Amino acid sequence: MEETVIRPKRLGIAALTAVLLTPALMANSSPAEARAPHSIRFAHFGPASGPEGQRSFRFGVSSSATQIEDQDTNTDWYHWTQPKPDGLGHGQFVGDGVGGYSKALDDVDLIKDMNLDSYRLNIEWARVEPKRGQFDEAALKHYSDLLDKLRANGIHPMVTLHHFANPVWVDNPDDPGCANGPSDTNLCGLDNPTGGPLVVQAMADYAKVLAERFGDRVDDWATLNEPMVYMLFSHAFGAGPPGKAELVGHYQDKFQVSLRNFISAHAAMYKAIKQYDTVSADGTGPAANIGLTISAKQYVPVRNGKVSTDPADIAAADRFRRFFELNFVDSIRQGAFSTKDDGVYDEPHPEWKGTMDWLGIQLYDRTGVSDPGATPGPTTLPVVNVDVCGLAPCLPPLDPSYVIPTMGYATDPTGLYPVLKDFSARYPGLPLMVTENGIATDSGDRRSEVVVRALESIDRARADGVDVRGYYHWSLMDNFEWLQGYGPHFGLYSVDRSTMARTPTSAAAVYGEIAGHRGLTPHLRKTYGGTGPLSPEPTPSQTPAGTPKLAAGVPAANGRRD
């Protein structure tokens, strides 16, 4: 079965862990005025949750520790990608990232130069706690200094605690079967009946330390980044560390156990931060605004290369969305678990309820979904029983220029509007934040177009009453894109990995102008906005040698990087 799920005819990861993954003018306006876009203005910075933050807005950028930092040798991703015999040799070696640890303080200047008021960063758990229960004071001081410099430059930090990576001792990928049982060097992971609760407690202890040390400078916290993306590559298909393929054959006794424990970890981290972060660093709103981020998609029922109206395909799209996107959030909101993944929350978990102050939306791609019928194929997502795709002939792009060559999927530059509207209606009263959105490209104009159109979509949603409080572009700089290695370039700053030099792209200047004016001028909108084609990619991007391909049967976990 492992050969069927993980090793059949191979596709690029983005093709199937990225596949799955205006006010009216006055009546007497001239035709020329009617065609000219008006200015869009965004409000001041405000809290991520609570009434004080309503109608506020922030301009930010995101990164994650494992994807940028050097000297990061204690993460499971370092060991997973390190060449044999020292490591497991899976995919392109993360190595020294893009020097993001050594250059962390200098990189604050990059954010300041773009006039941004917010930075979503990840504090690396494996660096802070390299051995179970032993916290590294030098690492804690490093992050403390980073937070100090951000604050000194008027940049509000949002800290993500878990962004796909663990210390090796949480779930050692050398021993995914946990032959000797849980120990201080291998807790055996979320799926282990003894070790799982120990991991939950370890994550809560980690959150406590960060809240105690940094709560006076941090008000905004994200417990988990895209938890179902993590669950798919780590526990469903074994495409990333710890390398456990449990969706088929161990769905209830392993995969669902891991999922319950991951939800419990979020709730435990939330409660620890609330208890130990008691200072409002900004002087307004709650001392701690705590949420998580999810990978959202535009789910398109498809059949024979066209949008499908077949009820079976519509139901398949709904089924996949519930599994991939909604169940995790709904479990927290309702304080219960859906044992059959059918939207019926039949297993009470009152300890989860009320542990979410805001929700981060991360959107990159459109995903085609169809029902496989009575004869599932080799690429059918098991258990959920859906076929998914990201490109023609299965899912034609809205425009040929919307195809992202290095990722194997297509985007919709205006897609944030319907997605934000849907989440606002689904979860009334829950503030939203666009915590990631971007494009893999070597064209500054394409990236500028994505930024401007995203903000146009957000403004439109806010005009319709959606409480969306900010935009964080992915990413600050080019980095390690997980299973895709260093091939895709998402950065506002490009990076020469031979020297680690950062060079601003033209999109950095455009985003800086927007943030500086806190809005979109008619000129920027006319140049980059609207609904037309994107600028062409300058040259075809090639996947670097050694970058792994995703096996058929492994669903797209994320439209950005997996």
Q: Which residues of 185-207 are buried (b: 16+ CB within 10 A; e: fewer)?
A: ebbbbbbbeebbbbbbebbbbbb
In a domain, residue 18? The reply is no
In a domain, residue 21? The reply is no
Residue 547 DSSP code: P
Q: How many separate domains does the chain show?
A: 1
Indicate which CATH number applies to the domain containing 509.
Answer: 3.20.20.80
Kindly report the length of the chain.
562
Note the pLDDT of residue 472: 99
Contact indicator for 382, 247 with CB cutoff of 8 Å: yes
Note the pLDDT of residue 27: 31
Average pLDDT, the chain: 91
CA 322/CA 305 separation, integer angstroms: 23
Please report which confidence band the pLDDT of residue 25 belongs to, taking 50, 70 and 90 as the band edges. very low
In a domain, residue 35? The reply is no
Report the greatest alpha carbon distance in the chain: 79
Query: What number of CA atoms fall less than 13 Å from residue 463's CA on the CB side?
Result: 13
Joined tokens for residue 151: 């604050």
pLDDT at 285 over 80: yes
Each residue of 101-119: pLDDT tens digit?
A: 999 999 999 999 999 999 9
Note the pLDDT of residue 36: 77
In a domain, residue 397? The reply is yes
Note the pLDDT of residue 553: 36
Residue 284 DSSP code: S
Q: Give the number of other Cβ atoms within 10 Å of residue 311's Cβ.
A: 10
CA 474/CA 111 separation, integer angstroms: 13
Contact indicator for 257, 193 with CB cutoff of 8 Å: yes
Note the pLDDT of residue 84: 97
In a domain, residue 8? The reply is no
pLDDT at 197 over 70: yes
Contact indicator for 21, 555 with CB cutoff of 8 Å: yes
Note the pLDDT of residue 41: 98
Q: Residue 457 belongs to what domain range? A: 58-318+362-528
The DSSP H or E segment spanning 298 is: strand 289-303
- Inter-helix orientation angle 104-113/506-517, to 10°: 60
Rg (CA), the chain: 22
pTM above 0.85, yes or no: yes
CA 222/CA 63 separation, integer angstroms: 13
The DSSP H or E segment spanning 499 is: none
Beta strands in 205-267 (DSSP E): 220-225
Q: What is the DSSP string of 100-137?
A: TTTTHHHHHHHHHHTT-SEEEEE--HHHH-SBTTB--H
In a domain, residue 561? The reply is no
Contact indicator for 47, 282 with CB cutoff of 8 Å: yes
Three-state DSSP class for 276? helix
Instruction: Find tokens 């992050």 and name the residue.
Output: 143
Q: Give the number of other Cβ atoms within 10 Å of residue 422's Cβ.
A: 15
Each residue of 427-454: pLDDT tens digit?
A: 999 999 999 999 999 999 999 999 999 9
Each residue of 309-362: pLDDT tens digit?
A: 999 999 999 999 999 999 999 999 999 999 999 999 999 999 999 999 999 999
Q: Is the peptide bond prior to 242 cis by the omega test (within 30 degrees of 0)?
A: yes
Contact indicator for 383, 247 with CB cutoff of 8 Å: yes
In a domain, residue 541? The reply is no
Higher pLDDT, residue 266 or 405: 266
Contact indicator for 63, 72 with CB cutoff of 8 Å: no
pLDDT at 562 over 60: no
Note the pLDDT of residue 1: 31
In a domain, residue 144? The reply is yes
545-558: average pLDDT: 36
